[in-house]
Amino acid sequence: MGTTIGNVLISYDVSAKNPEVKAALLKLNYYEAFNQDGKNYNLPNTTLFHQNKSSDQAMVDMKKVCRDLNVTLEKAVAVKASEFVGL
């Protein structure tokens, strides 16, 4: 189980309303980018970052947002992120 609190990435595919899903997650303090060494790195379109969640909590947030928006969560993965490399 993903219970360790820290940096987490969640990547997902939804059946519709991606802009609304993303906006709802951004309101929950997820980010579209991460900053490292003073440089900002944008994440792929359906990947978000949170600094203080577990992977379990991120998945709960994702499922709730989809349920609230009546959207099918087609697939998702949430992982603890301890090291970043960006382009």
Taking only the tens place, the pLDDT of each residue in 19-37 is 999 999 999 999 999 887 8
Distance between CA atoms of residues 78 and 84, nearest Å: 15
Q: Are 63 and 20 in contact (CB under 8 A)?
A: no
- Write out the two tokens for 51: 């600094």
- Average of per-residue pLDDT across 33-46: 88
pLDDT of residue 1: 59
Map out the domains of the chain with their CATH numbers: 6-80 (3.30.70.2360)
The pTM assigned to this predicted structure is 0.88
Buried-exposed string 17-34: b where 16+ CB fall within 10 A, e elsewhere? eeeebbebbeeeebebeb
Looking at every residue in the chain, the average pLDDT score rounds to 91
